Each structure stands twice: as structure tokens, then as C-alpha cells.
Structure 1
Amino acid sequence: MTDAPRASAPALTIVNAVILPMADGVDWFRGWLSVGDDGRISGMGEGHPPAGRAATPWAEAGEGLIGSGEVFDAKGAFVAPGFISAHSHIFTSGMRGMTPGDELYGWVGEQSTFISGADADDIYWFTLHGCLDFLGNGVTSAYNFTDSRVVGKYDAETDTREIFAIRPEDYLHRQVDAARDAGLRTMNAIRLDSEFQPVEGAFEVFARAVAYVDTTVPPDLNLGASVFGAVQWSATEQAARDEVRAMDEHRIGNQAHFLETAEALDQQREKFRWYADAGALRPGFLFGHFVHPDAQMSQVAAERGAGMVWQPTSNGRLGSGVADIPRYRELGMPIGVGLDDQSCTDVSDPFQNMRIGAYTQRAVHQDASVVMPREMIRLHTLGSAEAMGPSVAADVGSLEIGKFADLLVVDPAAPDTGPVWDVYAHYAFACGLRNLKRVYVGGALVSQNGESTHPRAAEASRELHARVREVARRSAERSTSRLAW
């Protein structure tokens, strides 16, 4: 661990830290990390920064400005990579606590009815609030399923979807705007919806959305576009072929919600064949959830290079089941971890997500070593980046020279969590949001002590509360739920 050849005076140097790089083959160490003006890690190492890196010795600098750069004394706190949510529906930030006793389809039905009253401005503020919530909780990169233009409701019993309306394209675009404006690194997933509008028109809308991402999101924040796989809710095999066409035309991946719940399981398993026959199963294709495949399905998916993304908190909240992570690991599948919806995790807490994930696997397999702390942290950081693709993993997911300085300062002494017997176990099992003191994206401070530094954070909160009430009013004729304050 040495300085990068191009390193100059750093914009930020963090000293006196317990650093968890999460790069393979590199263990935790006590030392320092520096960030260049480009927002990337320019140097890191054990002990003190090398001579000449700071204007005064780090031990005397404390916290403050040295020349044009800041030196932050972590005072023994953990410094680790920002979490990555490889499966997220960020627009749901105003929908926490909805349908607390429903499983997937009942919950989706209520959510769909509510969001049917939203317009492009509403979805912008919902998404902005959700992105700032992610950042404040230490999630610095996300795969985000944008809410579809198609307003409808799926009936699992009949395997049909009732369509109410199709919104203008800016409904999609404003969700892209919100993630960009929040400063969250995002892969934007777009639903094709070729079943519900003229097919070629659907492909044109999709192409314009991909182009919008590429032309309006700064490269540093743009993790790419993806197909929002929706065959689970489709009526014909053509939907799978259409998604493969979109993947091929734009050279992008696809993440499909699949086999999430035991409800309507036979029809879900039949639709797995649609994807397999269409040629979708390949590197870059991810199954979101993948809780209930049979042994052959998981074997075929792994052999063809497909991966999966695990949502421990969401699967527990909705009673969906427990994904067989040790099995997928043995098969060599890429595995990411996601926080899913704010409306089905309720608190977008990656620390809680790690604990629920590890503890549930241990309980199901009756093996306390089945998912160890370091592996769990890796799954929610570098593993998620790898699942999203090589270009993503090249920039985020671990603390390495040349990667973006997306990092967290987590202080186990404030509040005091006791002696640290094992660094990885303490970080994953004993720490939480209460210990999260700073969140940096590209070396820029975006949250401190739970408070966003974003200039529109307070406005986003006000807009969310006001707009949720108005959207609920608009959708009231289709809703049986009532908001309570």
C-alpha cells in the first residue's frame, strides 16, 4: 500500500484509523488514507502518513485544514468502504410501515395503488428523499429500479395485470435526476413494458431513457443502465425475448425479480424457462431475491454465469423465505446484497441488513460459521459491486488506490460498544447507525452524525411529507389503506 504515481497534495487525509479495505487478500490495519482532488484514493498505508504528505505531522494536526487539504483524525475509529445496495426501489421512501402484515403480493398491491396517484414531480422528491436517506445511512452506491411509467396492479391468482394509465417519459427521467442531484452513485434500471404499449415504441422509450442517463448523469455518478427484469409479472414468453433484445442492443445487464415468494410458485418456476430459452442467463444477468428455485434452476443459472442479489431484511419483513446463500456460494454465483424498498425494510440500515442476513443463515443451517462477519461485510460492499459488473467493481466496493473514496467513519466508542475482540465481527455485529459518524462520497462529506450535508435535505423532507398526503388523496378511490399520523 503506497502512494499512487500521480499523487500530489491530498484533498483529504484520514489518520489514526482502523481501516477495513475489504480488498481480497488485504487485512485490516491501523493507519492512514488520503484522497486526491479527483475524489479517488491517492494513498494509504499502515502507521503515519509518509513525510511530506501533510504540512505538519499528523499527530499534531488533529482535525482541520492544512493548506488546501483537510486532515481528519479518526481517533481509532473504523474506516470502511461505503455500503452498496445492489437491489433498491428508492422512490418508496415515503411508504414505510405500509401493510405490516401482508406478504409480497398484498404489499405490492397497496404500494401500486398508492403510487398510481404520483406524477413526475412527486416521484422526483420521493426519490431524492430516498437517496439522501441511503447516503445518510452509509449506502454510497445503489442499483435502483425506477418506478415504471405503466400504472397498474398485478393479480397473482390470475397472473394478469390491470393497467390504469401510462405516464409521460419524464416520470422516468425525474427519478434519474433525483439520484444525480442527491450525489448517489447509481445504476438506473428501466422497465421495458413492451406488453402494454406498441412494441417498437416501448423500445424507443427505453433507448431514450438509457440515453438520458448517459447524457445527464456525470460519469463519476453513473454506474450505468440496466434492464428492470419483469418477466415474473408477464403473460407471454415474448417478454423475456424483448428483454434480451434490450440487453443486446444496449450492451447492458438485467436484474429480474424472481422466485421471491412461495406464492404462485409453479407459474414463477415456469417463467424461469422463458428466460433460459431466450438466452438471458449469462454474465450480467441477476436474479433479485431467488429464494425459491429448485436445484436444477440454481445449477443452470450458475453454469451460465448468472448471479443473484439477496435482500435479507425485505425477505424477512414480507415472510418471503430465506435464500440458500451457501448453496449459491458453492455454485460460484456472483452474490450481491440489497436493501430493497424503504417500504419493506422500513429503516434503510445496512448494519441491520448484515446482521439479519448472517443470523438468519446461521439459524436455518444450524451452523454458526456458515456466514462469517468478513464475508457478510464483503457481500454488502465489494461483492455487490462485482455482481453489478466489472466496471462497477473497478471503481467502488473496496478501499484501494485509484478507486473512489466512498467511505464510512464508524466509531465503536461512541456510543461505547465495549472491547474489540475481532475487528470484522465488531464492525458487522456490534456497530450500527448510532456509531456511523461520517459518510464520504469521493472524499466529500455527505453526512455527519446522522445529518445530511446536502443543501436540499430539509426541503426534501418537507416535500416528501406534503406530497405523500396529496398522492394518497389522489389515489384514494383505489386505496383501502389510510395514512395515520
Structure 2
Amino acid sequence: MTELTVVDAVILPMADRPVLDGPLGGPGLDGQATGSADWFRGWLRVGDDGRIAAIGEGTPTADEIGGEVLDVHGAFVAPGFISAHSHIFTSGMRGMTPGDSLYGWVGEQSTFISGADSDDIYWFTLHGCLDFLGNGVTSAYNFTDSRVVGKYDAESDTREIYAIRPEEYLHRQIDAARDAGLRTMNALRLDSEFQPAEEAFAVFARAVAHLKRSVPAELDLGASVFGAVQWSASEQAARDEVAAMDAHGIGNQAHFLETSEALDQQREKFRWYEEAGALRPGFLFGHFVHPDSSMSRVAAEKGAGMVWQPTSNGRLGSGVADIPHYRSLGMPIGVGLDDQSCTDVSDPFQNLRIGAYTQRAVNQDASIVMPREMLRMHTLGSAEALGPQVAAAVGSLEVGKFADFLVVDPASPDTGPVWDVFAHYAFACGLRNLKKVFVGGELVSSEGVSTHPLAARASTELHARVREVASRAASRSVERLAW
């Protein structure tokens, strides 16, 4: 890596403590006072280790400049977004079942992906990771697709199993995220219900070992249990997940109470997690749209958090999570883009706007989630939800953290005068203003075009393989492909 100094930037550090000595902030970009204390005009320098080496107000001195100089001419520089809940292998499945809620949509996905092999899932995941990076998502929690091929029926609360794929199917998803250069926490399903428990734990351990052996430390945000009790038929599944958490010293994120469908059975399974001892710091509920008041209180008291997917919850008609209530309970809250097949455009700017606007509409309060609060949840807040080791590395622009940042130009195309820096960044800017994405100080996307040497091939492979997989699965999806 080479050193880089970014100059003439409006820096949004998203840190909770001052990143400079002395007062920050100042007048707005057009001379209007903003009252903000945590953005400033200045510069930052990236060291040859890919971390932020220095950050300052104004113009750097000759002694403060190192390496290549990038003049962003007054553009915003902010941390890369973090998607704290993602299924990245779904990059070729956008637009599927546009009128279905959760279980119908999952069923169609399950039918399609049943035709995928280890090479297919590699290219699907690589394409999805590059898509994330191109849209300004520089770190992600990724639910790898399970080896178990089957379909869940919510009405009977059972899962029909067709086959179990080789372990390579898991490993290749880990490889794809690594090859893309996306910082990733990889989540793995235990699947102890569908094979002997001893074998399931061994497969899980080998996947964790593959992750530690093959992914460079700077890209590895850790392993996690892919919580699957929502689709389980036995309380033993919760106990097994806790055993995996304890054996590997890792957390767990469980899809839970996402939809109002089969709500009573979902709520009953909350007790399974509670009695198994899963609820603790490091345990996250993905979605958590429909808990009762006791569940949210107990989860918060035990130190568990939640991850919110506003675009996905809207697309699938799942409901609106009570974010103000969870915040009042002190729950850690992350934000995710979920599936590319249920957000369709993996756009973090759109995601944060849908989140803020939906909360305002439901609560009939235009100040319930302010722009900086929403942006923080999708950056540093998501890092904190994923654990202190993640928050120490990414999520904000501070000396010692990885230099994962975006260059967003409000003048190209012109979005007008800037009255409030955070409101303008969160509400007025979007992918059209995203000019450059850096990971560890290295340029990974410019003007929406990936710099990755496999980007063109990933697109070609995705299109060809989606058709082949759909055909293999005898899925009606193949009939819907326009090209």
C-alpha cells in the first residue's frame, strides 16, 4: 500500500469523541451557521498500513502530507457504510416475487438456489460483494447460504430437506468475500437438526478454521453463528447454537420476529433462546419487528442487540421496527441492507432515508430520527452492534482505524446550497453523488465503476450462471428473465 493524503474535504468523522484538538465545526458550506460540532473542513492522511495516520482541519503543512495527494475540491468525505445484516449471494435474484411477503419470497429463493453448486455460489457472492463496494458499503455481516438444500413451510413449521452440499459450498462464499476485498463477518449455520450433531459441529469448526486460515486479518471481522431457530422444530437447536458460540467465542445473529406471519410460533421460540442462555452481549436479533414488550425488555436487559433492515421490511411488507423504543432500552442497533433480492438496489443512502422517513411517518414526529443519528446507525452504530473488535477497526474516521471512506460530491450533480451538513449528506445525496470508494486507502470504485480485475468477469459469470441454476432447479424464475 502507498500513502495517500486527502485534502480540501468536508469531513464527517462519525466519531463520538473529538478527532481533533480544540473545537470543531463552523459555518455551513454556504456560510450559514450549522451549530454542528463534529464535521469540519480539512484533510486526512492514510499510512502505508491502510489505516488513518493523521487528520486535521484546514490545509495540511508540507510536513503533514504523505504520498499521493487527492484534492476532493470541497466534497464530503465520510466513513464507508456498514451493512450489519446481509445475504450477499442473492445478487442475481433482484426483482424476484415482487408481490410476496417473507415466506413466499423465501420459498421462491430456496427453489432457485437449490440448483447452485460451489462455483455458482462463489460468483454470486463475488458479484454481490463488488456491488456492495461500488455502492459505498465497505464492511458487511454476511449470512452464508447453508449447505442444506430444502424448503421451509411456515404453516406446518417444518422444513423439507432435499440434499446436503459439500463443505466447499460454505468455504467458497468466504473465499469470494476475501477475493472481493470486502471486510466481512461471516455467519455460518450449524444445521445440527439435519445431520448428526457431532458432524454438524465439526463442519462448523472446519469452516471457522478455513476463515482464519485463508482470509487476511485486515479483512476478517470474525465469525458468527447464523441463528436459525426461527425455522427450527426443536429447542435443542437453540442449545446447539449456544454451544457453538461458547466453543468459538463468537456471537450470533438470529432472524427473528421479522414478519407477522406465524407470529405465535415465532414468539414461542424466543423462550428457547432465553432458556438456552443465548441472550447476552454479542447476540443480535435480525429484524425484531414484532416482539412483545416483555421480549424487548428481556433482550435489552441481557445485553442483546438488534439489526434493522428498513428497505427489506418495507419491500416484503413485514412491518416497522420500533427503533425509538429499542433506543430507549439501550439496545445496540445496527442497520443492514439484507438481501439484494429484497432491497433490489443495495443502496445505503436509500436505506437510511427509508429508515428515517418511515420512523417519522409511523411516529408522526419529524424529529424522531435525525440525519446524523441515522447515518451513525449505518456506520459506527453497526460496527458497535457487531462487537467491540469491529468498532475498534471501522465505522468512523479516526487515527488508527482502517481508512475506509467515501468521497461524495454534492455539486456533481448539483444538489443546491448546503444548509445542514448531515441533512444534506443523508437526505440530498445518493449514489449519483458517490464519486470514489476507498478501502484501506485503496481505490475500489470510481464513478460507479469497480477497479477490481474480476469485475467484468463477475458480471458475465453471474448472468450465465443464474440461467443455468434456474434451469437445474426447474424454477419458473428462468421464464421471467428478460436477458
TM category (shorter chain) comes to: over 0.9
Structure 2 residue aligned with 1:41, among 18, 31, 52?
52
Task: Return the alpha-carbon distance in structure 2 between the equivalents of residues 275 and 317 of structure 1.
Answer: 28
Query: How far apart are 1:430 and its partner, in Å?
Result: 0.2
Q: TM-score, normalised by structure 1?
A: 0.94
Q: Deviations over 1:429-455 (max 9, x none)?
A: 000000000000000000000000000
Query: How far apart are 1:53 and its partner, in Å?
Result: 2.4
What is residue 463 of structure 1 aligned with on the other side?
A: 461
Query: How far apart are 1:70 and its partner, in Å?
Result: 1.0
Task: Please state if 1:31 is matched with 2:42.
Answer: yes
Runs of 4 or more above 2 Å deviation: 477-485
Task: Return the alpha-carbon distance in structure 1 between the equivalents of residues 47 and 237 of structure 2.
Answer: 46
Aligned-residue RMSD, C-alpha: 1.2
Q: Taking every aligned residue pair, what percent have the same amino acid on both sides?
A: 83
Contact 1:124 1:178 in 2 (8 A): yes
Contact 1:229 1:255 in 2 (8 A): yes
Query: How far apart are 1:484 and its partner, in Å?
Result: 3.0
What is residue 91 of structure 1 aligned with on the other side?
A: 89
What is residue 226 of structure 1 aligned with on the other side?
A: 224
What is residue 284 of structure 1 aligned with on the other side?
A: 282
What is residue 315 of structure 2 aligned with on the other side?
A: 317
Structure 1 residue aligned with 2:401, among 403, 408, 412?
403
Structure 1 residue aligned with 2:426, among 389, 405, 428?
428
Task: Return the alpha-carbon distance in structure 1 between the equivalents of residues 173 and 234 of structure 2.
Answer: 29
Correspondences of 1:184-195 after superposition (within 5 Å): 184-195=182-193
What is residue 122 of structure 2 aligned with on the other side?
A: 124
Task: Return the alpha-carbon distance in structure 1 between the equivalents of residues 445 and 154 of structure 2.
Answer: 41
Query: What is the letter of the counterpart of residue 173 of structure 2?
Result: Q
Structure 2 residue aligned with 1:351, among 349, 352, 359?
349
Query: How far apart are 1:49 and its partner, in Å?
Result: 1.0
Structure 1 residue aligned with 2:7, among 15, 39, 62?
15
Counterpart secondary structure, 2:480: coil
Task: Return the alpha-carbon distance in structure 1 between the equivalents of residues 153 and 249 of structure 2.
Answer: 32
Query: How far apart are 1:480 and its partner, in Å?
Result: 9.1
Query: How far apart are 1:14 and its partner, in Å?
Result: 0.2
Task: Please state if 1:375 is matched with 2:373.
Answer: yes
Structure 2 residue aligned with 1:170, among 159, 168, 175?
168
What is residue 21 of structure 2 aligned with on the other side?
A: none
Counterpart secondary structure, 1:302: helix
Task: Return the alpha-carbon distance in structure 1 between the equivalents of residues 203 and 480 of structure 2.
Answer: 34
Q: CA 1:249–1:268 in 2, change beyond 3 Å: closer, same or farther?
A: same
Task: Please state if 1:135 is matched with 2:146.
Answer: no
Task: Return the alpha-carbon distance in structure 2 between the equivalents of residues 227 and 306 of structure 1.
Answer: 14
Task: Return the alpha-carbon distance in structure 2 between the equivalents of residues 125 and 17 of structure 1.
Answer: 36
Query: How far apart are 1:52 and its partner, in Å?
Result: 1.4
Query: What is the letter of the counterpart of residue 168 of structure 2?
Result: D
Contact 1:10 1:42 in 2 (8 A): no
Task: Return the alpha-carbon distance in structure 1 between the equivalents of residues 411 and 183 of structure 2.
Answer: 30
Query: What is the letter of the counterpart of residue 24 of structure 1?
Result: D
Task: Return the alpha-carbon distance in structure 2 between the equivalents of residues 477 and 430 of structure 1.
Answer: 40
What is residue 65 of structure 2 aligned with on the other side?
A: 54
Query: How far apart are 1:479 and its partner, in Å?
Result: 6.6
Task: Return the alpha-carbon distance in structure 1 between the equivalents of residues 417 and 286 of structure 2.
Answer: 37
Task: Return the alpha-carbon distance in structure 2 between the equivalents of residues 230 and 478 of structure 1.
Answer: 27
Counterpart secondary structure, 1:476: coil
Task: Return the alpha-carbon distance in structure 1 between the equivalents of residues 129 and 215 of structure 2.
Answer: 15
Query: How far apart are 1:123 and its partner, in Å?
Result: 0.1
Query: How far apart are 1:51 and its partner, in Å?
Result: 3.5
What is residue 106 of structure 1 aligned with on the other side?
A: 104
Task: Return the alpha-carbon distance in structure 2 between the equivalents of residues 150 and 399 of structure 1.
Answer: 40
Could you tell me which runs of 5 or more consecutive residues in structure 1 were left unpaired when the two chains were aligned: 1-8, 56-68
What is residue 64 of structure 1 aligned with on the other side?
A: none
Counterpart secondary structure, 1:16: strand
Query: How far apart are 1:54 and its partner, in Å?
Result: 3.0
Task: Return the alpha-carbon distance in structure 1 between the equivalents of residues 339 and 144 of structure 2.
Answer: 11
What is residue 213 of structure 1 aligned with on the other side?
A: 211
Contact 1:113 1:478 in 2 (8 A): no
What is residue 293 of structure 1 aligned with on the other side?
A: 291
Q: Deviations over 1:207-228 (max 9, x none)?
A: 0000110000000000000000
Contact 1:20 1:81 in 2 (8 A): yes
Task: Return the alpha-carbon distance in structure 2 between the equivalents of residues 233 and 373 of structure 1.
Answer: 36
Contact 2:279 2:299 in 1 (8 A): yes
Structure 1 residue aligned with 2:266, among 268, 277, 285?
268
Contact 2:307 2:333 in 1 (8 A): yes
Task: Please state if 1:153 is matched with 2:164.
Answer: no
Q: CA 1:77–1:104 in 2, change beyond 3 Å: closer, same or farther?
A: same
Counterpart secondary structure, 1:467: helix
Task: Return the alpha-carbon distance in structure 2 between the equivalents of residues 235 and 118 of structure 1.
Answer: 26
What is residue 78 of structure 1 aligned with on the other side?
A: 76
Could you tell me which runs of 5 or more consecutive residues in structure 2 were left unpaired when the two chains were aligned: 19-37
Task: Return the alpha-carbon distance in structure 2 between the equivalents of residues 191 and 81 of structure 1.
Answer: 30
- How many residues are aligned here? 464
Query: What is the letter of the counterpart of residue 101 of structure 1?
Result: G
Q: TM-score, normalised by structure 2?
A: 0.95
Q: Deviations over 1:175-194 (max 9, x none)?
A: 00000000000000000000
